[in-house]
Amino acid sequence: MKLEVVSRSGRSIATLDVNPDSTVAELKKKFHGLKKTYYPARQRFALPVKAGETRGQVLSDDSKRLSDYGLAEGGKLEFKDLGPQIGYSTVFFWEYFGPLVVYPLFFFLPQYLYPHIKAPAGGTQHALVQKLACAYWCFHYAKRIVETFTVHKFGHATMPIFNLFKNCGYYWGYAAYVSYFVNHPLYTAPNQTVSVACLAAAVLAQLGNFWSHLILAGLRKPGEKEYRIPKGGLFNYVSCANYTFEIWGWLLYSVAVQSIPAYLFAATGAAQMTQWAIAKHNRLRKLFDGKDGRPKYPRRWIIFPPFL
């Protein structure tokens, strides 16, 4: 069948001759053959807007057939260029690699990173909490990199390349901001017993977070695309249990080091995760409404009992 591809302003871009039973992925490959710049990951196709819709339905499932979307001879497709794309794992690696390297710089090279502070005779002495905090921070980001390549299963393969710079700016920037003050020569160490206890609890929170990631990765069998109700561990009580543990980890880290930038970092992360958690929770509740044989999504906390 012949399909007409138009831009979002209505201008005709190309005409594609495809088999109605071919998949969206095959359509994208064909389009890439015509327009070399737009590799498949950059392509987004949508059906024309129907009555009652504000936007046309997106051909989001690469494995679905064109006929499943109701496309027939003479059908129109709206094309959007998503811009240069980059793999999720690539972005995750670089955004986590930065903090892994940047934070210890202030710990190990104070003579270069605090040049305005005279180095004390015999070199800088660090308090126990500063040493443990550095170890915890590095452990956390090393864990994240390992998870990226061994545990996480990504729903989308790519994201816009601009996100690489945005995310790295956030992670690397905050790493420097927190590390500068926690490893400062004029750092005031808080009560050591409290700090060590908090960091120990933070490690437990990280284990909880890792466990949650394992549960999430095991929700779908390879090739499955549907959403599932998360079960097991803290997920029985909280929709986004992985975020719960993550927030606890950073909260405990902040209490351990007693530094405002650490609290700011924890708060910023918590705010972003809360946004995501609310969206995910609502998506799951809408999907699992208990009708037509679908299970009903159980009553759960969203992200951080007893508050939300």
Partner 1 sequence: MKPSTAYLALYNAAQACGWAAILVVLVIGVTQRETPEQLYDRAAPLTKLVQGAAILDTLHAAVGLVPSSPAMTLMFWVGRGNALFAITEPIAALHASWWAVLMLGAWAAAEVIRYPWYAAITLGACPGWLTWLRYTMFIPLFPLGTLAEMALMWTALPELQSRRLYSLGLPNPYNWAFDYHRFIQIVLLLYPLLWWQLYSSLLRARAKKLGGSKGGSSKGGSGEGSRPPAADILRQETRSKLLKTQ
Where on the chain is the footprint of partner 1 (CB under 8 A)?
A: 181-182, 184, 186-188, 190, 257-261
Residue (206 or 258) nearer to partner 1, CB: 258
Q: Which residues contact 199 (CB under 8 A, 6 or more apart)?
A: 129, 132, 133, 136, 252, 253, 256
* Lookup: tokens for 201: 């609890």
Sign of the dihedral defined by the CA atoms of residues 82, 83, 89, 94, in that order: negative
Ramachandran bin of 83, using left for φ above 0, alpha for ψ from -120 to 50, beta for the remaining angles: left
Cβ neighbour number for residue 258 with a 10 Å cutoff: 18
Q: What is the DSSP string of 73-105?
A: TTEEEEEEE--SEEEHHHHHHHHHHHHHHHHHH
Q: Which is nearer to partner 1, 103 or 297 (CB)?
A: 103
**CB of 84 or CB of 185, closer to partner 1:** 185
> What does the alpha-carbon distance between residue 207 and residue 199 come to, in Å, rounded to a whole number?
13
- 35 phi, psi to nearest 5 deg: -120, 95
Beta carbons within 8 Å of 211's beta carbon, 6+ residues apart: 233
Residue 178 CB-half CA count within 13 A: 28
Between 3 and 134, CB nearer to partner 1: 134
CB of 53 vs partner 1, minimal distance in Å? 17
Closer by beta carbon to partner 1, 148 or else 258: 258
C-beta of 126: minimal distance to partner 1 in Å?
13
What's the CA gap between 193 and 190, in Å, rounded? 9
The least distance separating partner 1 from the CB of residue 182, rounded to whole angstroms, comes to: 7
Smallest separation (angstroms) from partner 1 to the CB of 262: 8
Identify which of residues 184 and 220 has a Cβ nearer to partner 1 in the complex: 184
Q: How far apart are CA 27 and CA 20, in angstroms?
A: 10
For the beta carbon of residue 299, count every other beta carbon within 10 angstroms: 7
Q: Residue 181 CB, nearest distance to partner 1 (Å)?
A: 5
Q: How far apart are CB 163 and partner 1 at their closest, in Å?
A: 19
Residue with Cβ nearer partner 1 (241 or 257): 257
CB of 186 to partner 1, least distance (A): 4
